[in-house]
């Protein structure tokens, strides 16, 4: 859905999109629509940033986005589910990293973003007892990491 949405606006957009899902993860209790909204937002953001980097003209640059899940041992919850969304886009400058989860904060041009996507994602993950964090290196890309507890 995210890919086709961007392709509708940018006919020449292309991305190497990979998934690596841990088969050992059992079903967990979450609000599927909420987590789906978070994942769609993070993937949309990843596609946006790799497309911006592509348009800036780096020779030989190939946009890449990876979505990965993993079962993480946790003494309190038995285990947690880790979801990672990684891109090789422009990364997040250090001077704004502390602001990215704030409502209405955006680096996108006027009319291209509301600044609510990451804020809502943060709230949804917290409401599900999880956490969300980001690892980034300016010029090299970002990786958003979601940790969700498994109740039961």
Task: Give the separation between CA 65 and CA 74, rounded to whole angstroms.
Answer: 27
pLDDT, one tens digit per residue, over 53-99 is 998 877 789 999 999 999 988 776 678 899 999 999 999 999 989 88
Examine the pLDDT at 141 and tell me if it is beyond 80. yes
CB 113 within 8 Å of CB 106: yes
Examine the pLDDT at 6 and tell me if it is beyond 80. no
In DSSP terms, which residues pair with 87 in a beta bridge? 65, 142
What domains are defined for the chain?
Answer: 2-149 (3.30.565.10)
Which band of pLDDT confidence, cut at 50, 70 and 90, is reported for residue 125? Answer: very high
Statement: the pTM of the whole predicted model exceeds 0.85: yes
Which tokens hold the place of 85? 């969304």
Examine the pLDDT at 7 and tell me if it is beyond 90. no
Q: Determine whether 70 is exposed, middle or buried from the number of CB atoms within 10 Å of its CB (0-12, 13-18, 19+).
A: middle
* Apex 138 CA angle, 89 and 60, nearest 5: 40
């Amino acid at each position: 859905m995210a890919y086709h949405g961007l392709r509708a606006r940018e006919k020449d957009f292309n991305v190497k999109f990979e998934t690596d899902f841990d088969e050992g993860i059992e079903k967990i209790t979450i609000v599927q629509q909420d987590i789906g909204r978070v994942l769609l937002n993070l993937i949309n953001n990843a596609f946006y940033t790799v497309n911006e980097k592509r348009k800036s003209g780096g020779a030989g640059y190939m946009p890449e986005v990876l979505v990965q899940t993993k079962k993480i041992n946790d003494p309190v919850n038995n285990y947690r589910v880790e979801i990672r969304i990684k891109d090789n886009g422009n990364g997040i400058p250090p001077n704004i990293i502390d602001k990215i989860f704030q409502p209405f904060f955006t680096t996108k041009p006027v009319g291209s973003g509301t600044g609510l996507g990451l804020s809502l994602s943060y709230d949804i993950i917290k409401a599900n007892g999880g956490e969300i964090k980001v690892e980034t290196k300016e010029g090299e890309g970002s990786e958003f990491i979601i940790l969700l507890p498994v109740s039961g």
